[in-house]
Structure 1
Amino acid sequence: MKNQFNLVRATLFSSKMVFILLAICLSIKANSQSFTANLDQYLDAHLRQGTFSGTVYITQKGKPVYSKGFGMADYENGIANGPNVKYRIGSVTKSFTAVLVMQLQEQGKLNVQDKVSKYLPDFPNGDKIMLHHLLSSTSGLPDFVNHWQGVNTKPATISDILTLVKDKPLEFEPGTKWKYCSTGFIVLAGIIEKVTAKPYDQVLAKQILKPLKMKSTGMEFSDPVVGLALGYNHDGTDRKLAKPIDMSWCHAAGAVYSTPTDMAKFDAALKGKKLLSEASKNQMYTAVMKDYGYGWVIDSLGGHKRISHSGAINGFKANFLRFPDQDLTITIFSNYESQQVNGPISKDIQAIVFGQKYEVPVVRTIVAMSAAQLARYTGEYQVAPKMSFTISATGKQLYVEAPGQPKFEIFPEGEDKFFVKVAPALVTFEKDEHGNIARMYMHHGGKAMPATRVN
């Protein structure tokens, strides 16, 4: 009797588990259908507004649940964006470099606690800086990206890049502060080449790309790239090709190109032990300062652990977002140099996938205004005693500039009402009793910041 009771209980338990698993599967499928439609609507609005062009690729449990391109990889020749288009991924390259360093540590060729001077004896402050500092952006080295203007259109070597900053003083003592820095990853490239006696791109191919059959991923400066999307800037009224750059300047900090489907292979391999041991991954994914580990950002979204990195390079934006507890990965590659991609758009895509609040952007129409009409809005608008916005005009273009920030263009939607492309924001103006422009309001995130005209 007891055995029969146990058999019945086991049968009921088994049936209950089947029902629960079926319900979960149906829920995931329903949610997938829901966010598919929502993503289509949301991204199509950004495409029509000129703030997104690219591909969004989402996998769950290793299988794609969303894969769609928006706009063109090449607008001149009508080549569409899609999951197999190659994009520059900018600083997502740092995640690849971090994996290479951890692999070499497992092979006994280096240790992250080693000093830079062990491998590069002549490097300034090399006896103070550990590989750990380079990987975690806590080295205190100046960022070479702040010094490459005017020279980054010609080919460069690792030595050329480091020459820009290696003789400059440290910005802080290694390990005492965090400041995002690409220089550390160029130094790591030099160390990787030293311990392997091979060029960085060959080490990348041997240890990651070939084993994972990532045939559409590589270093842009190494070999000619076929099928690479063109990068554009569309922050103004017209789409135009982005400023040229020789990608050798980005090297191990930002020169990798890839496709969304290839990145799914990289993601899948990182979940197992094909690339790294669990101990190495735990070390790499442990935040050192400011949520930054070794070439990865380690934080959370709505209680969901997130391991990610973003990238930005002339004409391109990228965001690689991994949620290990949900076995979910979101890849966002864009061939628009839109400031919204790695900000509001990325944030909203994650909100859509997780069923959180978001807003579909309003597709706004630019109203033609003459240079004389736009000139009426120019001047200084004071928010606080030491903070002002400056409105300036160049022909038929109107710009806003805040202290210490680059100016951005605003577009007339109607009289006294303008919209912004670099962020989901509006600028409105208010007249006094004489019909003169007296105030401006910066509308963003449901709030309005007033500023009074002072001249």
Structure 2
Amino acid sequence: MKNKINILFSPIMILKKKYILTRHWITVFVLFAVTPIAFAQQKAKQIDDLMGRYVDNGKFNGSVLVVENGKVIFKKGYGLANMEWNIPNTPDTKFRLGSLTKQFTAMLIMQLVEQGKLKLEGKITDYLTDYPKAAGDKITIHHLLTHTSGIPNYTNLPAFKTFNRNRYKPADFLKQFSDLPLEFEPGSAFAYSNSGYFLLGAIIEKVTGKTYEKVLQENIFTPLQMNNTGYDMFFKILPKRATGYDRWNLEYENAPYLDMSIPYAAGSLYSTVEDLALWDQALYSDKLLSASSKAIMLTPYKSDYAYGWGVYKTQIAQLKDSVEAMGHQGGINGFNTSLIRIPKNKHLVVLLNNTGGTNLGAMQNNILKILYDQPFDLPKISVAYVLGKTLATTSLANALKRYAEIKKQPAYYLNEGEINGLGYGMIATGKIREAIAVFNLNVMEYPQSFNVWDSRGEAYMLNGEKTKAIMDYKKSLELDPYSMNAIRKLNELGEKVADPKEATVEDKILDTYVGKYQLTPSFVISITKEGARLYEQATGQPRHELYAESESKFFMKAIDGKILFVKNEQGSVEKLVLFQNGQEMQGKRVN
């Protein structure tokens, strides 16, 4: 008999019999529910398929762990922990955590508060008597924990790259930012600041008389048997430690060195996905902290930030009700990380990646959809990624043939910026002929984009094809009269082109753009005004003057970049959009 088996979603196995009686026979229908183990296995396979697609797409290289209803249902490593020795990632590979460190620092602070050794309303100068009093007398522990202190973020300082290789004692490093003027009155605004958590580490050491590393070990890692977690220092021999890499288009390189005395209590820890599952489970108990203190620690303040955690409501696909989530992401040279927990259902997703910046948020959200039995889409495959891999292993003709085969297939996606980046990757390795061929594809696909003509013009210049370069740069300028790179290149090629005429913007409108805009936790653009001129300065980069293309859109002459200011429905400027190298990034206004 052809019949359908209905699956009952239940935490226990159900065996239900229905008897239908007639004069001559009895038919027995048995309805079986699939056990929780079978459901978990099904979800584990879906997660594996999902992450495998990200891996095949060059978007993930690391380890994953997923907890459902308090039980680990999936853990696996993907890609390589060390590319030189071809050593694979596994669930017990150790990764640098970056800013996931902050939740551990916050826990230590709350333990000290519970012991009566610290007060949340206590001032910096109550504990660090040498700290400048002008700021230290009014900034509290609470301000430091919630990123509302107003202390400038030291990783945003222009000089950061000049001292990030040096080893510092905490008291010495504090001098890098302690004398800087506050960005706002403490408590009045939110601005993500590693400086605040660095200070918390120094306060922990002062109050306990022990190193931050030792307090972590004694108060958290040893009690929870987190034997694969600790303070990462480069000189230590650390078994199963992943190497951090950055990816330039399709090529990987070792990430720049960063001495871990600098991230310190803001980002210095290493761990495994398995140990972070132990940490998650401990937060459901009173082993480390009382329930009342945990409630304080996990109460969100400005911008949904609690003490070391983002705490917020999130809507998962088509679910009627939102759920409360607690999470954080981290990024540090060669690594980026993500941890999210849903306390109501005891769900946890941990993603640790050792190939620099990638969009872990998209992966995390898809895994949550799987946990809640919601529809999700497998990520499409990048045409640019496949094209680049094919170019690396076969002829240009074969690569172009492969491109033509897949570019319109539903499982693949085409992106102008990625194709453009691949072209520049070819230039970087001296493959100018291949670069021109790649840029040709972009010109055919996106003929109304000024940037694709600009990029091909550069390749023609490098190849000595001056006439073709001039034609492409003129086309780029026709599409965007404010393209300063095209103007500069045309002048270099002997074509005299004047700078574009700047629009006039009222002074009071310029004033509304002044502020800080956070594009990522570690990348901020500051907009300042001097006289009637606006200036932008991005994290770790020189300052550039802005020139008005319109009332809300500005261009830069020194570099190829534009900024658009966006207002909300109330007419207030709430974000900016940065356009650079054919890409765009949005930054939320934080003060």
What is the rounded CA distance, in whole Å, between the counterparts of 1:286 and 1:411 in structure 2? Answer: 54
Q: Give the C-alpha shift of residue 20 in structure 1.
A: 7.0
Q: Structure 2 vs 1, CA of residues 48 and 346 (structure 1 numbering), >3 Å: closer, same or farther? A: same
Structure 1 match to 2:86: 78
Amino acid at match of 1:103: Q
Matched residues in 1 for 2:353 and 2:268: separation? 15
Query: Any unmatched runs of 5+ in structure 1?
Result: 1-16, 371-388, 399-409, 419-426, 441-450
**Kindly tell me: are residues 99 and 188 of structure 1, through their superposed partners in 2, closer, same or farther at Cα, counting changes over 3 Å?**
same
Which residue number corresponds to residue 167 of structure 1?
179
2:338 corresponding residue in structure 1: 319
1:396 aligns with 2:426: yes
Cα distance, 1:416 vs structure 2: 3.2
Residues 331 and 357, structure 2, Cα contact 8 Å, conserved in 1: no
Deviation of residue 439 (structure 1)?
13
Given the alignment of the two structures, is residue 269 of structure 1 paired with residue 269 of structure 2, yes or no?
no
Residues 198 and 265 in structure 2, CA contact (< 8 A), matched pair in contact too: yes
Other structure's SS at 1:227 match: coil
Instruction: Give the aligned residue type for 2:286.
Output: K
CA spacing shift, 1:94–1:20, aligned 2, 3 Å: closer
* Matched residue, 1:68: 76
Which of 195, 200, 207 does residue 212 from structure 2 map onto?
200
Contact 2:325 2:340 (C-alpha < 8 Å) held by counterparts: yes
Q: Secondary structure of the residue that 1:248 maps to in structure 2?
A: coil
Name the structure 1 match of 2:523: none
Match of 1:430 among 441, 447, 456: 447
Contact 1:439 1:452 in 2 (8 A): no
* 1:39 Cα deviation from its structure 2 partner: 2.1
When the two chains are superposed, the root-mean-square deviation of aligned CA atoms in Å is 3.2
User: For the structure 1 residues 21 and 50, does the alpha-carbon distance in structure 2 shift closer, same or farther, using more than 3 Å as the test?
Assistant: same
Q: Which runs of 5+ in 2 are unaligned?
A: 1-7, 15-31, 316-321, 398-416, 429-434, 457-477, 487-591
The corresponding residue for 2:441 is 416
Asked whether the equivalents of residues 246 and 356 of structure 2 are also in contact (C-alpha less than 8 Å), the reply is yes
Where 1:177 maps in the other structure, the secondary structure is: coil
Structure with greater contact order relative to length (CA < 8 Å, sep ≥ 6): 1
- SS state at 1:206 partner: helix
Aligned equivalent of 1:87: 95
Aligned counterparts, 1:336-347, within 5 A: 336-341=355-360, 343-347=361-365
2:371 maps to which residue? 353
Corresponding residue for 1:214?
A: 226
Amino acid at match of 2:100: V
Partner SS state of residue 121, structure 1: coil
Task: Please report how far the alpha carbon of residue 180 of structure 1 lies from its aligned counterpart in structure 2 after TM superposition.
Answer: 0.7
The CA deviation string for residues 154-205 of structure 1, in whole angstroms up to 9 with x for no partner, is: 2122123321111110000000000111111111111111110111111110
Deviations 1:60-90 (A, max 9, x none): 2432101111101112212211111100001
Given the two structures, how large is their TM-score scaled by the length of structure 2?
0.60
Task: Look up the match of 1:126.
Answer: 136
**Structure 2 partner of 1:335:** 354
- Compare CA radii of gyration and give the structure with the larger one: 2
Quick one: distance in 2 between partners of 1:184 and 1:78? 39
Measure, in 2, the Cα distance between the counterparts of 1:181 and 1:203: 23
CA distance, structure 2, for counterparts of residue 411 and residue 70 of structure 1: 34
The answer on 1:366 being equivalent to 2:387 is yes
Assess, with a 3 A threshold, how the Cα gap between structure 1 residues 297 and 366 changes in structure 2: closer, same or farther.
Answer: same
Q: 1:39 to 1:363 in 2, by over 3 A?
A: farther
In terms of mean alpha carbon deviation, does 82-91 or 143-152 score higher?
143-152
Work out whether residues 250 and 425 of structure 2, in 8 Å CA contact, stay in contact via their aligned partners in 1. Answer: no
Could you tell me how far 1:413 is from its partner in structure 2? Answer: 6.8
Structure 1 stretch 301-310 or stretch 361-370: which is displaced more? 361-370
The aligned residue for residue 24 of structure 2 is: none
Distance 1:19 1:250 in 2: 46
Match of 1:136? 146
Q: TM-score w.r.t. structure 1 length?
A: 0.78
**What secondary structure does 1:253 align onto?**
helix
Classify 1:394/1:329 alpha carbon distance in 2 versus 1 (closer, same or farther; 3 Å). Answer: closer
Matched-pair contact (CA < 8 Å) for 2:369–2:376: yes
1:430/1:438 contact within 8 Å kept = no
Q: 1:245 aligns with which of 255, 258, 264?
A: 258
1:37 counterpart residue number: 45
Partners of 2:363 and 2:10 in 1: how far apart? Answer: 37
Pairs aligned (count): 387
Alignment match, 1:151: 163
Report Cα offsets for 1:2-46 as digits up to 9, x if no partner.
xxxxxxxxxxxxxxx997743698475454334322222222222
> What is the identity percentage for the equivalent residue pairs of Structure 1 and Structure 2?
33
Deviations 1:224-244 (A, max 9, x none): 422210111124121211111
**Using the alignment, how far apart are the partners of 1:132 and 1:47 within structure 2?**
40
Instruction: Give the aligned residue type for 2:241.
Output: L
